[in-house]
Structure 1
Amino acid sequence: MNAILLFIRFAITQLIYTLSGFTPRSHKAVMGCYKDKFADNSKYLFLHWQQQQTLRAIWISADKQVVKRLQTQGLEAYLRWSLLGVWHAATAKFYVYNSYIGDVNQYLAKGAVKINLWHGSPLKQIEFDISNGPLFQVYHPESLSQKLMAKVLYHQQHVRPNLMLAPSDKVKKLFSSGFRISDEQFLTCGNPRTDYYQRYKSKDWLQLKLPPNTRQVILYAPSWRDSHLNTATNIYTQAIDFERLSVQLQKSNQCLLLRLHPNEAHLATELSQYPNIINVTFWDDIYGILEKIDLLITDYSSLYIDALQYSCEIAFFLFDKAHYQAECRSEYPYVAKLPKAGIDLITFKDLQDYLNEFADKQEDLTQREAINWLRGSTRNRLMNTFWQYKSRCAFDCLDAFVQDKQIEATKKPA
């Protein structure tokens, strides 16, 4: 894109964004999710607000199937650039999202209260803290052309939220640095995606058609590798012999649920053919089944932090550790000092051996309680690091926040 086109696009988008700050905004929320999915924290807050009628909650997406599905369920949802989608985005008091305002509409958000619920815990450097990798220039452009490019292509990444959630002081400190916001812009409480199933029942487990005689259910949920943005190579088939893994799982009466990151969802398509391996990549999310699984295998993903709240064991399959550390975003320094939540596995053979050992464990209640007791000290330390304010329900805190905003608005002179 040449400089003239960049400047024209910049002028138009900034004009629209500025003008959106002058539209009157009413007490309602427009909500959305990355990749136009119906998932993560904003999904669960949306469902809560729909059920409790705390305020009018409206889902915005560019995915016709998502919008149609929600409308069929009696929930209010509109396409992003439909007449009603634009109207509500331009007139809603609250924007609620999991990544950036573009989850809803990045050009109509000025003047709204922006509530960023985020989609993970800060293990890898985020936003303005990023110091290497392909995302560095998004937040730290150097030349004039890079700065113009960032303003045009990464407008929403530079719009700061008005409010975020922090389940611990450590998370608050990191979010504050990464998003460049103050301590006063946080609610210290849990996250909607995990608090939801403490208040409402999940039906997600019923979607699974597990093989007969399944004794153990394993969730494999690796992180997104941003160093593979421009390659079609399937790094997972290079690291794992899925045919051999399938045979092993069948012998052990284990079932593996495969959940790739939304940015790598296309890589999961060819992995849906193997017995005892179920591809759940295209589910909205997997928070409704975390309390049911026996083992979580991940890598650099912060999903394991959510899993700390449940009884499953945790392992880390780090097949590309050296490459990841060199080419992808760096981790925050504190991560190296954290106690390990589970064993590190480097090679496919390591993974096979571990799964065989795990299959041999007796699944009676006494043994599970003993395992939980032995690892309790580590989990308690991690829980204190990441879930210090877990007892404060996200829904109660957010309900109070929006209700206070409504009271403030009614007190303002007309």
Structure 2
Amino acid sequence: MTKSAIKKYTERLGFFGMILHYIGRFMTKTEQQVIGKLTVRFGKVKKNRLVFKNREMMDCTDNPEAFYEYLISSGYNKKYEIIWLVSEKRKFRNQNTGNVKFVTAENKYGWSSPLAYYYGATAGFFFYSHNSAGLNRYRCKGQTVVNLWHGCGYKDAEQGKKKQNIKPDFDYALVPGPVFVKTKSGLWNCEPDRLLMMGYPRYDWMLHPSMSKDEILDSLFGWKGKKVVLWMPTFRKSDLGGCAENEIELPCQLPAIQDMNELKELDSYLREQEIILIIKKHPLQTEWDENEQEFTNIRYVAEALLEKKQIKLYELIGISDGLLSDYSSVAVDYLLLDRPLGYVLADYNIYKEKRGFVFEDPLEYMPGEKIYNACDIRKFMKHLTDGTDSYRQERAKNLKQMHNKTENYCKRLADYLQL
């Protein structure tokens, strides 16, 4: 137990909560050994059982949710029993979808129900997006494990994971396209044929939003205007261990912005151009202020607001007219929309030093305007409003390397797995 870990859980749960957390983790490890080994020895895989698992405290979101929604809408729950392993089971007590169960796994105290290990071991298919949390470490013969993952971008592995020689715990993992087979097979220490160039289930949300642009913007902000730009920076500061980018210091929480005055000037410019800039914090980012009271055309959006309005993040991405990002996988995903991209690279050199990139020259795979300061951001906005798009051909070139397009990403995956 490290000092940083003790501090992390004490701040989040309080002193007694921290103690409960480590008791829960101890109980979970014991359950894993006992339930897992017994199930493998005496149990059998249930071919009609599908299990889904997200990152802890991020239940039923992102690629697992997108694929699950497709399966439900297509009637797969008539054929399969579907189990969700979730941190906060109470959130789903009003869910009454037929043949779907919710079981506690990795709750806020680190505890997982014994049933989580049983279902994890006996599932015909085990789907996860970040890690399996060892819930199917002991699994029955015949199980297929699919890593739906959460995006392929430009960032190298975390410093603490670069030299690990650990075999992957999946049979298949999803990547967007050809170039990522090479990068991910190296990072994950796996054979290239385990990586399926099928893209991500969430792409269906982005390409086919359930609401119109005006409906989404009105629901979130009560706003109507000419253009919408999303700004989605990757995280710098986080509670994750082994992330050297935590050492990166920026003058403002937004790269390329020096202070609040520059942000106010940008807001004024956006108001003149009738553009709304929506800033989405990365889920892992800490030390973040979302005070938008002084702005009219700069707004922040968080998971809580999206959940309240029942709007998926990738639907919001899908109705935007342009994207500002940096080294994040969302910039790769956005290529499918063939719309203007701006790469905010104010800390490019220090980020390369601290975290590193999967490409020898990342700039070759960034088909958009390179942004280093607030002036560059205004230029990007001006080009967006007057229709200047100098990177269309470059986007098309990169699209062939970075994606394997289809009309329905969920259906392609389900068909491949012969569900």
User: What TM-score does the superposition give when structure 1 sets the normalisation length?
Assistant: 0.74
Residue-by-residue CA offset, 1:206-256 (whole Å, 9 max, x unaligned): 343345551110100011224354899884158533333333322322111
Whether 1:116 and 2:153 are equivalent positions in the alignment is no
Partner of 1:380 in structure 2? 396
User: Residue 100 of structure 1: SS of its match in structure 2?
Assistant: coil
| Higher helix proportion (structure 1 or 2) | 1
- With over 3 angstroms needed to count, the CA separation of the structure-2 counterparts of 1:77 and 1:274, relative to structure 1, is farther
Whether 1:318 and 2:345 are equivalent positions in the alignment is yes
Partner of 1:77 in structure 2? 102
Q: What fraction of aligned residue pairs are identical, expressed as a percent?
A: 19
Alignment-mate amino acid for residue 75 of structure 2? Q
Q: Distance in 2 between matches of 1:399 and 1:88?
A: 21
Partner of 1:344 in structure 2? 370
5 Å-filtered alignment, 1:74-153, equals: 76-80=101-105, 81-82=112-113, 85=116, 87-102=118-133, 106-111=134-139, 112-126=143-157, 135-140=158-163
Residue-by-residue CA offset, 1:325-384 (whole Å, 9 max, x unaligned): 22123332153433x4111111223323433x23651xxxxx5xxx56x64321221111
Q: Distance in 1 between matches of 2:28 and 2:118?
A: 23
Residue-by-residue CA offset, 1:120-163 (whole Å, 9 max, x unaligned): 1242224xxxxxxxx3333536xxxxx9xxxxxxxxx8642111
Partner of 1:335 in structure 2? 362
1:298 aligned to which of 313, 325, 331: 325
1:170 aligned to which of 151, 157, 179: 179
Whether 1:394 and 2:409 are equivalent positions in the alignment is yes
Q: Distance in 1 between matches of 2:192 and 2:286?
A: 35
Partner of 1:182 in structure 2? 191
CA contact (8 A) 1:20 1:108 kept: no
Whether 1:49 and 2:71 are equivalent positions in the alignment is yes
Q: Distance in 1 between matches of 2:292 and 2:395?
A: 33
CA contact (8 A) 1:294 1:311 kept: no
Q: Distance in 2 between matches of 1:115 and 1:275?
A: 44
Whether 1:221 and 2:221 are equivalent positions in the alignment is no
- With over 3 angstroms needed to count, the CA separation of the structure-2 counterparts of 1:197 and 1:216, relative to structure 1, is closer
Q: Distance in 2 between matches of 1:36 and 1:381?
A: 38
Alignment-mate amino acid for residue 49 of structure 1? L
Q: Distance in 2 between matches of 1:264 and 1:400?
A: 36
For the aligned residues, what is the CA RMSD?
Answer: 3.6
Q: Distance in 1 between matches of 2:72 and 2:370?
A: 42
CA contact (8 A) 2:31 2:114 kept: no
Unaligned ranges ≥5, structure 2: 3-21, 106-111, 237-242
Q: Distance in 1 between matches of 2:154 and 2:345?
A: 15
- With over 3 angstroms needed to count, the CA separation of the structure-2 counterparts of 1:337 and 1:84, relative to structure 1, is same
User: Residue 418 of structure 2: SS of its match in structure 1?
Assistant: helix
Alignment-mate amino acid for residue 318 of structure 1? L
Tell me how far 1:297 sits from its aligned partner: 0.4
User: Residue 107 of structure 1: SS of its match in structure 2?
Assistant: coil
Whether 1:67 and 2:92 are equivalent positions in the alignment is yes
Q: Distance in 1 between matches of 2:55 and 2:182?
A: 24
